[in-house]
Amino acid sequence: MSATDSMQEYLAEAYRLAYYQSTDPYVSTSALADALNVSAPAVTRMVQRLKDAGYLDHEPYRGIVLTPAGEREALASIRRHRLVEAFLVNVMRFAWHEVHDEADAFGGVVSDSVVERMAVMAGNPRRCPHGEPIPNADGVMPRVQDKPLSESEPDTEYVISRVNTHDADRLAYLGELGLKPGKHFRLVSRAPFHGPLQLELDGTNTVIGHELAGVLRVCSQEEYELV
């Protein structure tokens, strides 16, 4: 049974959740429901469909884990979505806060050959506009190493690795500040008790709140290159 668009959406989200857990390959159905903003019964029905199709295994009290077939479908879906986002930003000049929903709609109707042409036109990016890694054509996902800016050490140089939000207003505001993946800056200070953070960015000081800093993930330049 080939995976439908909705099945691929569930598989891709399950893969993303497991990817950032690092040690536990199992994903709880409640976490999947929260990530997809759907009801628990809806997740239960889809999990059964995916299990019957051979895309995942479900162990009570542990959660779900993708099978090799499920991982292949998930990685193909993630690659398509992130490359479409990169094409929309790099080639069609959409703003980065405009492309997530567009890629959801567009990615489900374009063929693999069109997606691969988009990849070439977008410069064969290794990350999407929001900094998430893009699996290669062989289905291999690069490993990201980063941490929240809100938990990072002051008086240190960082590169923004990725932005952990799809909220358009937040993305637009971060874009206005120049805080996008690949940007170098220095964390000058981090006030205690969830206070504001002071950044040195392009020779000027910028202050952001603790909550907003929590959606920014940072790393070294070498880690950003996904080497």
* Residue range 29-56: mean pLDDT, rounded: 96
**Residue numbers of the domain that contains 27:** 5-66
Q: What percent of the chain has pLDDT over 70?
A: 100
Which amino acid appears at position 188 of this protein?
V
Rounded to whole angstroms, how far apart are CA atoms 9 and 105? Answer: 12
Tokens of 9: 């959406």
Query: Rounded CA gap, 200 and 25, in Å?
Result: 38
Is 72 a member of any domain? no
Separation between Cα atoms, residue 167 and residue 169, nearest integer Å: 6
DSSP, res 143: P
Our count of domains for the chain comes to 3
3-state secondary structure of 152: coil
Last residue of a domain, one of 115, 142, 169: 142
pLDDT band for position 106 (cuts 50, 70, 90): confident
- Asked which of 107, 122, 142 is the last residue of a domain, the reply is 142
Task: Check residue 1 and give its pLDDT.
Answer: 67
The overall pTM is greater than 0.75: yes
CA gap 18, 161 in Å, rounded = 19
Q: Which residues contact 88 (CB under 8 A, 6 or more apart)?
A: 94, 98, 99, 102, 103, 106
116 and 91 in a single domain? The answer is yes
DSSP string, 102-139: HHHHHHTTS-HHHHHHHHHHTT--SB-TTS-B---TTS
CA distance 154 to 174: 20
State how far Cα 8 lies from the chain centre.
16
Q: Residues 141-196: pLDDT tens digits?
A: 999 999 999 999 999 999 999 999 999 999 999 999 999 999 999 999 999 999 99
Once rounded to an integer, what is the mean pLDDT over residues 53-75?
95
pLDDT at residue number 110: 86
Is residue 88 included in any domain, yes or no? yes
| Residue 190 three-state SS | strand
Residue for token digits 């050959």?
113
Query: In this model, does residue 135 exceed pLDDT 90?
Result: yes
pLDDT band for 45, please (50, 70, 90 cuts).
very high
Does 155 map to a domain?
Answer: yes
Residues 157 and 218 occupy one common structural domain = yes
Cα torsion through 107, 125, 72, 53, rounded to 10: -20
Question: Any idea which residue has 């952990």 for tokens?
Answer: 164
